[in-house]
């Protein structure tokens, strides 16, 4: 009998990190798999679904503008509970550390449905950084039955928390699977590659293939107040001082980010404020940039595989591997720090070169197949 699996995701990063697993499960005759999308980031989620040509089986139409985290988690739990009772899966797969992850895990736990957690064991052990993600992932680990950890350090975190080692599996990170899917398509399909180039040419008003540019992103809740302001002030200074550099900033649609960015950086000649890009377009830009300024978790994982240095704009990161391997620098998001470390990479070519060595720190692009192999052996 086929194992009935329900994958539940809420944000675009979650979908990107689960896409290859979902697609591979769909092809496998041992499973019936369905996808539920909570719709935390509706427009951004649509982009990701289109890139991988995925149609969800369940779409929760959440109206979540300006609501509290408490209300959001309660709303997701209520709607997911209805779907779980209707679909009756043998296993629920959740990913990472979002409100959807936490709410869905709780709903499955209350119904006594086994839970598999992909990207398990990441920790800072500081509930304020990142907030509220660190709480979500710690809480989810307590009630999950199976834990797919990206690396050995993540596994050891779980073991130290008294999770049964026999239920922890090191697989690599599934985002590398998605990254390699796109990179392989770009390499194999010249028509597709040309399409991406033309699309980016329309979006950007400079020659990104010939000019130096830096990619900038920021979206985390703990950076809504001083972090985004400091970043914008630093970019203002850097753009004036280094006019031969361009700064591409796909601005998150959250008003806490968007409003401040427009106040500080609108109409700067070499700062390009654009809407969030489709994943394939973003990957193409990542390949061409000099380095990246970000507070994103996913980019910290993707960049080393592409040989792109990252300045991580956070107080703490649960992804220390790229810091240790010297592909990334962890920098508190304050104006003076951002300027200092950006200038270091702009002016010190030797350092930039050292940090630009490609490394498969977060996996080999086969995490999904490893997970499926384990799922076949698990008794449900």
| C-alpha atoms less than 13 angstroms from C-alpha of 350 in its C-beta half-sphere | 0
Active site residue 133: yes
Strand order in the sheet with 328-331: 271-274, 245-250, 212-216, 291-294, 310-313, 328-331
The residue from 219, 220, 272, 319 that is catalytic is 219
Counts of helices then strands in the chain (DSSP H, E): 16, 13
The residue from 14, 41, 95, 97 that is catalytic is 97
What does the block give as tokens for 249? 């900033």
Q: How far apart are CA 314 and CA 76, in angstroms?
A: 28
What number of residues does the chain have?
A: 380
**What DSSP string runs through 251-264?**
--S-HHHHHHHHHH
The residue from 14, 117, 119, 280 that is catalytic is 119
Query: Residue 165 gets which letter from DSSP?
Result: G
The residue from 117, 252, 314, 319 that is catalytic is 252
* Bond from prior residue into 58 cis (ω within 30 degrees of 0): no
Q: How far apart are CA 110 and CA 81, in angstroms?
A: 9
Active site residue 14: no
Active site residue 188: no
Active site residue 97: yes
Active site residue 119: yes
The residue from 28, 221, 275, 343 that is catalytic is 221
Active site residue 252: yes
- In the three-class reduction of DSSP (H, G, I as helix; E, B as strand; rest coil), residue 14 is classed as helix
The residue from 133, 295, 301, 318 that is catalytic is 133
Give Cα separations from 248 to 53, 269, 312 (angstroms). Answer: 27, 11, 16
- Partners of residue 118 on adjacent β-strands: 95, 148
Q: Which residues contact 172 (CB under 8 A, 6 or more apart)?
A: 150, 151, 362, 363, 364, 365, 366, 367, 370
Q: Which residues are catalytic?
A: 97, 119, 133, 219, 221, 252
């Amino acid at each position: 009998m086929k194992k009935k699996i329900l994958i539940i995701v809420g944000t675009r990063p979650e979908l990107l990190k689960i896409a290859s697993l979902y697609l591979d499960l769909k092809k496998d005759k041992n499973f019936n798999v369905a996808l539920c999308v909570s719709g935390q980031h509706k427009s951004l989620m649509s982009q990701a679904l289109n890139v991988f040509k995925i149609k969800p089986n369940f779409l929760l139409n959440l109206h979540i503008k300006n609501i509290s985290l408490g209300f959001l988690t309660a709303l997701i739990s209520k709607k997911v509970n209805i779907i779980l009772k209707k679909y009756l899966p043998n296993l629920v797969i959740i990913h990472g550390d979002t409100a959807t992850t936490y709410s869905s895990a709780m709903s499955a736990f209350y119904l006594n449905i086994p839970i598999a957690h992909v990207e398990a064991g990441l920790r800072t052990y500081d509930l304020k950084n990142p907030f509220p993600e660190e709480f979500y992932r710690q809480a989810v680990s307590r009630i999950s039955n199976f834990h797919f950890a990206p690396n050995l350090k993540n596994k050891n975190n779980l073991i130290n928390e008294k999770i049964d080692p026999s239920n922890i599996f090191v697989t690599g990170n599934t985002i590398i699977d998605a990254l390699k899917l796109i990179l392989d398509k770009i390499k194999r399909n010249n028509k597709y590659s040309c399409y991406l180039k033309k699309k980016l040419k329309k979006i950007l008003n400079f020659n990104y293939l010939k000019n130096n540019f830096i990619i900038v992103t920021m979206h985390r809740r703990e950076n809504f107040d001083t972090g985004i302001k400091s970043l914008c002030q630093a970019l203002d200074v850097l753009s004036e001082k280094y006019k031969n550099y361009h700064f591409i900033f796909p601005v998150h649609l959250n008003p806490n980010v968007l409003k401040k960015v427009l106040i500080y950086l609108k109409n700067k000649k070499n700062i390009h404020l654009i809407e969030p890009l489709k994943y394939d377009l973003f990957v193409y830009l990542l390949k061409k940039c000099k380095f990246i300024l970000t507070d994103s978790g996913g980019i910290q994982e993707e960049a080393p595989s592409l040989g792109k240095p990252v300045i991580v704009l956070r107080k703490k990161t649960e992804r220390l591997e790229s810091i240790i391997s010297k592909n990334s620098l962890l920098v508190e998001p304050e104006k003076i720090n951002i300027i200092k470390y950006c200038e270091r990479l702009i002016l010190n070519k030797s350092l930039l070169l050292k940090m630009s060595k490609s490394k498969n720190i977060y996996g080999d692009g086969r995490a999904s197949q490893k997970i499926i192999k384990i799922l076949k052996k698990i008794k449900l």
